[in-house]
């Protein structure tokens, strides 16, 4: 029988989980290494690909052939070039791999931790752009997985609410600080009904930034002792920095022998030194927590519980900050690396009840999820600017941020001039409520030919429908002629799918 699984496709680490016979989520280990979380690193060999910790090791000798943090590129039209060892804008000439192809290799590796996986639920950040969601769907298709997407904080809530002894009720704040990203979501939980209220975050804030600060401290101290700098681009020193950071989560001080150009030196780093080195990141974290509360129009006292997600929440100062702002300690004792994958496995079970036994069905029953749209989705229109006394193009919001999903919203516009031949139908996405076209992303754009003899003021309507999966369907319609342009923001890049799949003919280790 084919299985359903949940997958956390993370920036630095990924994990896969399934429901055990009693309906409890269980993280699957890599059968070879025994690791429960897999480093999201991909090494491209001659005719094989290595995914995970070994790929990271290979980067010491072949740095250009190893891809890290592909998740950050999912929203971009880029290609990873093995000859230059970086992502480059896709101009159609560069040889290499798309972010969706690289992610598909990570998915294929995870899928092989068990047998007969056909269906999966993959988690994505609440603030993942439309293009990044499409690229994730494409990656799944490339690895022959039939998938649904769920937002990471929602998956975390599902996991926490399924744990024995934890009862989530009222408003909860999900604090997710991983290796590369930081997200805060506020949700309202009533029994097994989860309503997301808002999400805010920073795509470039995480444990790896803290590793860099430790490396910087090591460098300064080495230079002071020996008079010469260490090579801060040396990957093995990054590993040492990460190790020191992790030890400082339980110890007040760590001593390490650092090899440098002037021989070894014993260097001490204290927790206090580490904390002050990451001060600007901590301030950003505080600011984003306040912003999330403001957006949700809530005070800290209105939040019943804080749920932790991501490895970097093990840093003591991080939980202290949470305690200070929320005036209450977060829930402890949950494996923060696995919460998202486990929640995804629960959701996969809910969505595929026909594949569950009766105990599993009972365990995952009655969960209801309501997510929100995390961006402003709009369209470009032309309006008369009275100040400039001319026509200008502006962005007009169709679906406001934090609108509950699923939703369908129609806005009415008009044909601009007599005998207008066509209308440019564009779908835009922005983090703020922007009118200025400079600050928005155009995520789809197609023309619609109008009927002959269209008149100024003829009605034209735009309908955006957004499902819980995060997929949007947009209809642009000239009302009188019923001529339509439909834009479906589902998987697919401009590349040929068959070609993408054929160029992935590798053995995966
Ligand atoms: P995630 O992306 O959620 O898997 O989180 C990975 C990040 O968590 C990496 O940057 C790790 O270095 C960091 N991390 C894991 N364990 C600890 C720990 N005990 N103390 C500090 N950071 C940690």
Q: Candidates 27, 212, 238, 312: which one to mutate for ligand 1, based on the most atoms within 8 Å of Cβ?
A: 312
Q: Which pair of tokens denotes residue 183?
A: 């997200």
Judgement on whether residues 239 and 216 belong to the same structural domain of the protein: yes
Q: What distance in Å separates the CA atoms of residue 279 and residue 294, rounded to the nearest whole number?
A: 23
pLDDT for 470: 67
Q: In this predicted structure, what is the pLDDT of residue 244? A: 98
Quickly count: other Cβ atoms within 10 Å of residue 252's Cβ: 9
Give the span between the Cα atoms of 447 and 406, in whole angstroms.
Answer: 27
Write out pLDDT tens, residues 23-39: 899 999 999 999 999 99
Of 372, 399, 432, which residue sits at a domain end? Answer: 372
- What whole-number distance in Å separates Cα of residue 329 and Cα of residue 72? 31
Distance CA 321, CA 325 (A): 6
Q: What is the mean pLDDT of residues 241-248?
A: 98
Overall average pLDDT of the 302-310 stretch: 96
| Sheet with 193-202: strands ordered across | 303-309, 170-177, 182-190, 193-202, 368-370
Q: pLDDT-based confidence at 255, cuts 50/70/90? A: very high
Is ligand 1 within 6 A of the CB of residue 125? no
Tens-place pLDDT, residues 155-185: 999 999 888 888 888 999 999 999 989 999 9
Looking at 95-179, list the stretches that DSSP marks H as alpha helix, in order from N- to C-terminal side.
99-111, 130-142, 152-162
> Higher-confidence residue: 243 or 92?
243
390 and 366 co-located in one domain: no
Task: Report the pLDDT value the prediction gives residue 190, as an integer from 0 to 100.
Answer: 84
Q: Tell whether 125 and 199 lie within a shared domain.
A: no
Best CA proximity match to 145, nearest among 105, 100, 107, 115: 107
Q: Which residue shows structure tokens 């029988």?
A: 1
Residue 456: which CATH number? 2.60.34.10
Peptide bond into 400 cis (omega under 30): no
Nearest protein Cα to ligand 1, atom 15: 311
Burial class of residue 228, CB neighbours in 10 A (0-12, 13-18, 19+): exposed
Q: What angle do CA 265, 269, 275 make, to 5 degrees?
A: 150
Calculate how far, in angstroms, residue 431's C-alpha sits from the geometric centre of ligand 1.
Answer: 27
d(Cα 253, Cα 273) in Å, to the nearest integer? 9
What CA–CA distance (Å, rounded) separates 21 from 23?
5
How confident is the model over 217-229, as a mean pLDDT?
Answer: 97
Using an 8 Å Cβ cutoff, are 351 and 121 in contact?
A: yes
What is the spatial distance between Cα 225 and Cα 375, in angstroms, rounded to a whole number?
50
Query: Closest residue (by CA) to atom 7 of ligand 1?
Result: 179
Question: What are the two backbone dihedrals, phi and then psi, of residue 286, each rounded to the nearest 5 degrees?
Answer: -60, -45
Query: What pLDDT is recorded for position 152?
Result: 93
Which H, E and C letters describe 177-198, residue by residue?
ECCCCEEEEEEEEECCEEEEEE
pLDDT of residue 184: 96
- Kindly state the tokens that stand for 386: 């009275």
Rounded mean pLDDT, 63-70: 95
Higher-pLDDT residue of 10 and 488 is 10
Q: Which atom of ligand 1 is nearest to the CA of 245?
A: 21
- 65 pLDDT more than 50: yes
- Number of domains forming the structure of the chain: 4
Residue 17 domain flag: yes
69 shares its domain with 34: yes
| Position 192 confidence tier, pLDDT thresholds 50, 70, 90 | confident
Ligand 1 and 6: CB distance under 6 A: no
What pLDDT does 365 receive?
66
Return the higher-pLDDT residue of 116 and 474: 474
Q: Is residue 407 part of a domain?
A: yes
In a domain, 187, yes or no: yes
Q: Please report whether residue 115 resides in a domain.
A: yes
Contacts of 502 (CB under 8 A, 6+ apart): none
265 pLDDT exceeds 80? yes
State whether 126 and 220 are in the same domain: no
Let me know: does 157 contact 192? Beta carbons within 8 Å: no
Same domain, 7 and 138: yes
User: Is the domain of 72 the same as that of 154?
Assistant: yes
pTM of this prediction exceeds 0.75: yes
Taking every pair of Cα atoms in the chain, the longest distance, rounded to a whole number of angstroms, is 82
Same structural domain, 131 and 182: no
Choose the final residue of a domain: 326, 361, 396: 326
Do 74 and 26 fall within a single domain? yes
Q: How far apart are the first and last CA of the chain?
A: 25
Same domain, 219 and 293: no
Q: Which helix (H) or strand (E) holds 377?
A: strand 376-385
Domain that holds residue 306: 169-205+280-326
3: Cβ contacts below 8 Å, ≥ 6 apart: 18, 114, 115, 116, 117, 118, 119, 355
3-state DSSP helix/strand/coil % of the chain, to nearest 5: 30, 35, 35
CATH of the domain at 69: 3.30.420.40
Same domain, yes or no: 181 and 249: no
Q: What is the pLDDT of residue 234?
A: 84
Q: Separation of 204 CA from ligand 1 center, angstroms?
A: 15
| 161 and 173 within one domain | no
3-state secondary structure of 405: coil
- The C-alpha atoms of residue 230 and residue 222 are separated, in whole angstroms, by 7
Q: Which of 11, 311, 314, 338 to mutate to test the pocket of ligand 1 (most atoms within 8 A of CB)?
A: 311
CA–CA distance, 271 with 253 (Å, rounded to integer): 6
495, part of any domain: no
Q: Is residue 245 within 6 Å of ligand 1 at its C-beta?
A: yes
Residue 8 — very low, low, confident or very high, per pLDDT cuts 50/70/90? Answer: very high
Predicted pLDDT of residue 491 = 46
What CATH number does residue 251 fall under? 3.90.640.10
Residue 220 lies in a domain: yes
Is residue 331 in some structural domain?
A: no
User: Does 64 fall in a domain?
Assistant: yes
């Amino acid at each position: 029988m084919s299985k359903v699984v949940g997958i956390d496709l993370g920036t630095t680490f990924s994990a896969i989980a399934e429901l055990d016979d009693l309906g409890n989520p269980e993280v699957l280990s890599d059968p070879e290494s025994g690791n429960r979380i897999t480093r999201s690193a991909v090494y491209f060999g001659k005719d094989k690909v290595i995914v995970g910790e070994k790929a990271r090791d290979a980067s010491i000798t072949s740095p250009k052939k190893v891809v890290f943090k592909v998740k950050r590129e999912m929203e971009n039209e880029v290609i990873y070039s093995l000859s230059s060892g970086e992502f480059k804008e896709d101009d159609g000439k560069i040889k290499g791999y798309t972010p969706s192809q690289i992610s598909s290799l990570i998915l294929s590796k995870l899928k092989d931790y068990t047998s007969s996986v056909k269906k999966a639920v993959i988690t994505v950040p609440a603030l993942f752009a439309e293009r990044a969601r499409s690229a994730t769907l494409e990656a799944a298709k490339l690895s022959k997985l039939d998938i649904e997407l769920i937002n990471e904080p929602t998956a975390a809530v599902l996991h926490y609410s399924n744990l024995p002894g934890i009862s989530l009720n009222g408003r909860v704040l999900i604090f997710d600080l991983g290796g590369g990203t930081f997200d805060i979501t506020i949700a309202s939980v009533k029994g097994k009904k989860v309503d997301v209220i808002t999400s805010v975050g920073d795509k470039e804030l995480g444990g790896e930034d803290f590793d860099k600060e430790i490396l910087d401290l090591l460098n300064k101290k080495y230079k002071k002792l020996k008079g010469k700098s260490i090579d801060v681009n040396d990957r093995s020193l990054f590993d040492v920095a990460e190790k020191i950071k992790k030890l400082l989560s339980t110890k007040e001080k760590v001593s390490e022998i650092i090899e440098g150009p002037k021989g070894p030196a014993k260097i001490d780093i204290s927790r206090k030194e580490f904390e002050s080195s990451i001060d600007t990141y901590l301030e950003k974290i505080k600011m984003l927590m306040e912003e999330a509360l403001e957006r949700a129009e809530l005070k800290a006292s209105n939040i019943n519980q804080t749920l932790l997600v991501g490895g970097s929440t093990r840093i003591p100062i991080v939980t202290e900050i949470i305690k200070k702002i929320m005036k209450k300690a977060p829930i402890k004792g949950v494996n923060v690396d696995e919460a998202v994958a486990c929640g995804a496995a629960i959701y996969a079970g809910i969505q595929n009840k026909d594949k569950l036994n009766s105990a599993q069905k009972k365990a995952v029953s009655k969960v209801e999820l309501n997510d929100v749209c995390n961006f402003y989705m709009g369209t470009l229109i032309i309006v008369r600017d009275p100040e400039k006394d001319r026509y200008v193009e502006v962005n007009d919001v169709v679906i406001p941020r934090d609108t509950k999903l699923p939703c369908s919203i129609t806005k009415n516009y008009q044909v601009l001039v007599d005998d207008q031949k066509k209308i440019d139908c564009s779908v835009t996405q922005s983090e703020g409520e922007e009118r200025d076209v400079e600050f928005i992303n155009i995520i789809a754009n197609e023309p619609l030919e109008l009927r002959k003899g269209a008149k100024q003021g003829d009605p034209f309507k735009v309908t955006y429908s957004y499902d819980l999966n995060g997929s949007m369907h947009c209809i642009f319609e000239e009302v009188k002629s019923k001529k339509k342009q439909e834009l479906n923001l589902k998987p697919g890049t401009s590349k040929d799918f068959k070609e993408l799949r054929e160029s992935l003919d590798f053995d995966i280790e």
